[in-house]
Structure 1
Amino acid sequence: MGRFDGRVVLVTGGTRGIGRAIAEAFLREGARVAVTYVSSEDRARELEKLGILAIRADVSNRDEVRRAVELVRERLGDLSILVNNAGVMYLMPFEDYDEGKFDMMWRVNVKGIIYTTLEALPQLRRTRGVIINIASNAGIGTALEGTTYYAITKSAVIILTKRLAYELGKYGIRVNAIAPGWVETDMTTAGRSPEDVERTKALIRSRTMLSTTGVPSDIAGAVLFLASDDARYITGQVLLVDGGRVDYLTHGV
């Protein structure tokens, strides 16, 4: 018996990295799992062989989100758990502002959560469900070069989490966020040489109390806790999973 037997889970951006780890963890715990993806066709087929429903849908397009959420209901039943994981990250110094890249991060990282939550809400109201948003410790203010514009979008995810917890609590819906630290995934290593990745990992290790970097399963474990009945009295919270980062920009709020 799994902790989530019979419950229906949707993980956006769930074919690789953190999203895939979350989807597979729910599957192992007995859930009926669906993921959305945009371009990872081969990975989507791999997940389907495991029994996960993979749906091509861009979370920044509300019409595509609406069709995906309805397909989940038709194929698996009413959603019990929504994990808003889909995200993009472009690194750039503040003075090298790129309108297109910032707009893309805003559409996916913030509006994607709004659209998916709005479309899933009727089902989540019926199931008194759970929403977990994947934010980032960048949104709280870690001191890492080139992450200012990404951090803006993730700080929006954090306040959106708190507001949704307030707005949706009357339906019995719990809303929390996970704020990962640096986790080695396709997104954090894309376009970088192995040497550059190793330099980044060494830097992050030097800035964490545990002297280590994260892996996707670290985040999946935290998500499963917040989605479980063990967390039934927890809502509106942001759980940092970052190895104890010490390089926050200030000590205030």
Structure 2
Amino acid sequence: MLMNRVVVVTGGTRGIGRSIAEKFHSLGDTVYVLFSTSEKEAKALNDRGILTIKCDVSSRSQLEEASSKIKEQEGKVDVLVNNAGLWYLMPFEEFNEEKYRKMLEVNLNGVIYSTLSFLPLMKNRGGSIINIASNAGIGTAANGTTFYSVTKAGVIMLTKRLAFELGKYNIRVNAVAPGWIETDMTIGGKSEEEIQKLREYFQQRTVLHTTGKPEDIANFVVFLAGEESRYMTGQVLVPDGGRIDNLTHSI
């Protein structure tokens, strides 16, 4: 069944974001992907009928411009997926303020700015906002992710607060907090031997003895956007294969 929704996915040219965009497109939705640097990947999506807008989510003015373009073309947004993110491995005692600020600006502020920018296109009709967090924001034992975890913990709390504040507009707000997923961000630039070692490392730390794929997360996002989850808001789904090194799954 064709859905005919207008869907916005930030950071959607690669990895999890691209898989999410492709999944919605396959359902007949009109999909807009916001990207900042991946020109080649954006063109490939355009060629397949997925629309793209160059936009840095850490810039509220650029997001407002993107919102204006979509308003002019579509007049509405039904689903907003705040997926754009970045990470730097950084042990606590090797704190780098510039890298931390970049993560904070994209991972957390980007969700705030994006939601503020697209909210006017959702308020009068309701809809679904899905934030891509991370199980690192709940508490894992992965080394070097302390400051990344702080930004994703912020996304989780923001999800709950937005669900509370936007429910009056019939807008549901939920989050997906993936475990380790094989994407350009996690395996890019590594040799096949290094990638295999990473796979084995994380496989040993899940009760299912496997690692995730971008399409696994896309399936959860599509569920949260649809009528099947109409009675769910303010929730965080944690597809991580059952991580045994997670300090707690309680949120």
> Given the two structures, how large is their TM-score scaled by the length of structure 2?
0.97
4+ runs deviating over 3 angstroms: 250-253
Match in the other structure for 1:106: 104
Identity over aligned residues, as a percent?
55
Match in the other structure for 1:117: 115
| Partner deviation per Cα, 1:218-243 (whole Å, 9 max, x = no partner) | 00000000000000000000000111
Match in the other structure for 1:210: 208
2:177 is paired with a residue whose SS is strand
Question: What is the Cα deviation at residue 251 of structure 1?
Answer: 7.0
Aligned pair 1:136/2:111, yes or no?
no
Return 5+ residue gaps in structure 1 as ranges.
none
Two-structure CA RMSD over aligned residues (Å): 1.2
| Partner deviation per Cα, 1:57-106 (whole Å, 9 max, x = no partner) | 00000000101111122223300000000000101111111111000000
Asked if the contact 1:12–1:83 (Cα under 8 Å) also holds between the matched residues in 2, the reply is yes
Matches of residues 1-253 of structure 1 in structure 2 within 5 Å? Answer: 1-2=1-2, 5-250=3-248
Question: What is the Cα deviation at residue 135 of structure 1?
Answer: 0.1
Moved more, 197-206 or 111-120: 197-206
Question: What is the Cα deviation at residue 250 of structure 1?
Answer: 4.7
Letter in 2 for 1:219: I
1:241 is paired with a residue whose SS is coil
Asked if the contact 1:32–1:76 (Cα under 8 Å) also holds between the matched residues in 2, the reply is no
Letter in 1 for 2:244: V
Return 5+ residue gaps in structure 2 as ranges.
none
| Partner deviation per Cα, 1:173-206 (whole Å, 9 max, x = no partner) | 0000000110000111133332222111111100
Letter in 2 for 1:93: P
> Given the two structures, how large is their TM-score scaled by the length of structure 1?
0.96
Asked if the contact 2:138–2:250 (Cα under 8 Å) also holds between the matched residues in 1, the reply is no
Letter in 2 for 1:230: E
Hey, what's the Cα distance between the residues in 2 that align with 1:202 and 1:38?
32
2:124 is paired with a residue whose SS is helix
Hey, what's the Cα distance between the residues in 1 that align with 2:81 and 2:151?
17
Flag the 1:250–1:12 CA change in 2: closer, same or farther, 3 A.
closer
Matched positions, count: 251
Hey, what's the Cα distance between the residues in 2 that align with 1:173 and 1:106?
25
| Partner deviation per Cα, 1:27-73 (whole Å, 9 max, x = no partner) | 00111000000111011011111111100000000000101111122
Hey, what's the Cα distance between the residues in 1 that align with 2:77 and 2:125?
7
Moved more, 187-196 or 175-184: 187-196
Asked if the contact 2:16–2:217 (Cα under 8 Å) also holds between the matched residues in 1, the reply is yes
Hey, what's the Cα distance between the residues in 2 that align with 1:116 and 1:233?
24
Hey, what's the Cα distance between the residues in 2 that align with 1:234 and 1:76?
27
Asked if the contact 2:138–2:249 (Cα under 8 Å) also holds between the matched residues in 1, the reply is no
Hey, what's the Cα distance between the residues in 2 that align with 1:155 and 1:10?
23
Asked if the contact 2:57–2:114 (Cα under 8 Å) also holds between the matched residues in 1, the reply is yes
Hey, what's the Cα distance between the residues in 2 that align with 1:18 and 1:68?
21
